[in-house]
């Protein structure tokens, strides 16, 4: 029996236009909740940005493992935070902010900060995020806020993302560098990651791997996929994710996640999932 379902946002639940069928999602989440099944949003997005995607009526029925699993909440109530040392975060920030054509953000327990740039692409990035706070320097972040991650994104140097992520991991071995999609990477505590958020929920609610379902599409979903019997990749997932995902469904643009959630809700067991077996994935 399924007891816990963890769902990535970008490229998974969200269509490429950052929208999804909110009514269908709300209905199936409420039905699963009434059956005692935990549904969690597991994303690299900040807590505030994640709430922006979910309508007010649905939020109370969801758990959130945001900031790559470093913030965990039930609805709007945060009950676990895994932060990184402020001085260490500043050192990383100072280094990555000198990289050409990368846009630097910092997620805290209170909000998301984006380093201001004169580049016109900055305006495009700033449109993606709600409740965004522009900053001139790291010192603009209030000292009482906990630093959760430092993120980088680019539209110009997509081919360099992997190499730079490797470089940063070598430079900061006490932190974790995680590539997300083709244009993003996040740097956070070595004790963080989506799998940590997932394991926290599993332990808190006495759920084991055989009772866990995960949905994702990119490399930052790999760690949580490895903690679930039912690891489900999207149609356009990264090659690395497809190597370990046991199942694969359709496109995020076709509401494939919501469709499968409805199937889970309608079936007494998971026998039906075998029709989605990923032949190239881990058996």
pLDDT, residue 155, reads: 77
Plot region of 180 (φ>0 → left; ψ -120 to 50 → alpha; else → beta): beta
For residue 244, pLDDT over 80 is answered with yes
74-80 mean pLDDT: 94
244-267 mean pLDDT: 97
Where does the pLDDT of residue 13 fall: very low under 50, low under 70, confident under 90, or very high at 90 and above?
very high
Mind listing the pLDDT tens digit for each residue in 96-143?
Answer: 999 888 889 999 998 889 888 766 666 666 666 767 788 999 999 999
d(CA 252, CA 218): 13
Structure tokens at 10: 């970008």
| Distance, CA of 127 to chain centre | 19
Mind listing the pLDDT tens digit for each residue in 197-233?
Answer: 999 999 999 999 999 999 999 988 999 999 999 999 9
147-172 mean pLDDT: 89
170-189 mean pLDDT: 88
21-42 mean pLDDT: 98
DSSP-derived secondary structure for 76-96: TEEEEE--B-HHHHHHHHHHH
d(CA 258, CA 200): 24
Mind listing the pLDDT tens digit for each residue in 86-103?
Answer: 999 999 999 999 988 888
The pair phi, psi for residue 210, each rounded to 5°, is -65, -10
The secondary element (H helix, E strand) that includes residue 66 is strand 63-66
d(CA 262, CA 273): 12
Residue 179, strand partner residues: 185
Let me know: does 43 contact 10? Beta carbons within 8 Å: yes
Length of the chain: 283
More confident residue, 12 or 185: 12
Q: What is the percentage of the chain residues whose pLDDT exceeds 70? A: 94
Where does the pLDDT of residue 183 fall: very low under 50, low under 70, confident under 90, or very high at 90 and above?
confident
Let me know: does 65 contact 39? Beta carbons within 8 Å: no
For residue 283, pLDDT over 70 is answered with no
Where does the pLDDT of residue 259 fall: very low under 50, low under 70, confident under 90, or very high at 90 and above?
very high
Structure tokens at 228: 């679930």
d(CA 252, CA 258): 9
Q: What is the percentage of the chain residues whose pLDDT exceeds 90? A: 75
For residue 193, give the nearest of 47, 49, 68, 24 by alpha carbon. Answer: 68
């Amino acid at each position: 029996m399924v007891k816990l379902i963890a769902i990535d946002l970008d490229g998974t639940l969200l269509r490429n236009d950052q929208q999804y069928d909110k009514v269908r999602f709300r209905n199936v989440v409420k039905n699963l909740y009434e059956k005692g099944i935990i549904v969690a949003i597991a994303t690299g997005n900040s807590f505030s940005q994640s709430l922006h995607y979910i309508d007010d009526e649905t939020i109370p029925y969801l758990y959130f493992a945001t900031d790559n699993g470093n913030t965990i909440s039930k609805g709007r109530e945060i009950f676990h935070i895994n932060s990184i040392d402020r001085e260490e975060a500043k050192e990383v920030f100072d280094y990555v902010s000198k990289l050409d054509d990368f846009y630097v953000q910092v997620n805290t327990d209170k909000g998301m900060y984006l380093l201001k740039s004169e580049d016109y692409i900055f305006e495009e990035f700033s449109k993606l995020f709600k409740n965004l706070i522009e900053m001139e320097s790291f010192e603009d972040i209030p000292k009482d806020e906990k630093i959760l991650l430092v993120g980088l994104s680019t539209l110009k140097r997509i081919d360099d993302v992997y190499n730079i992520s490797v470089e940063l991991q070598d430079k900061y071995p006490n932190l974790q560098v995680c590539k997300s999609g083709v244009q993003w990477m996040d740097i956070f505590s070595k004790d963080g990651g989506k799998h940590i958020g997932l394991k926290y929920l599993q332990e808190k609610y006495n759920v084991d791997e055989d009772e866990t379902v995960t949905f994702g599409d990119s490399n930052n979903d790999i760690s949580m996929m490895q903690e679930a019997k039912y690891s489900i990749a999207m149609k356009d997932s990264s090659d690395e994710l497809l190597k370990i995902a046991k199942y694969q469904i359709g496109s995020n643009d076709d509401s494939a996640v919501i469709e499968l959630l409805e199937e889970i809700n309608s079936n007494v067991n998971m026998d039906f999932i075998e029709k989605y077996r990923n032949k190239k994935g881990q058996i």
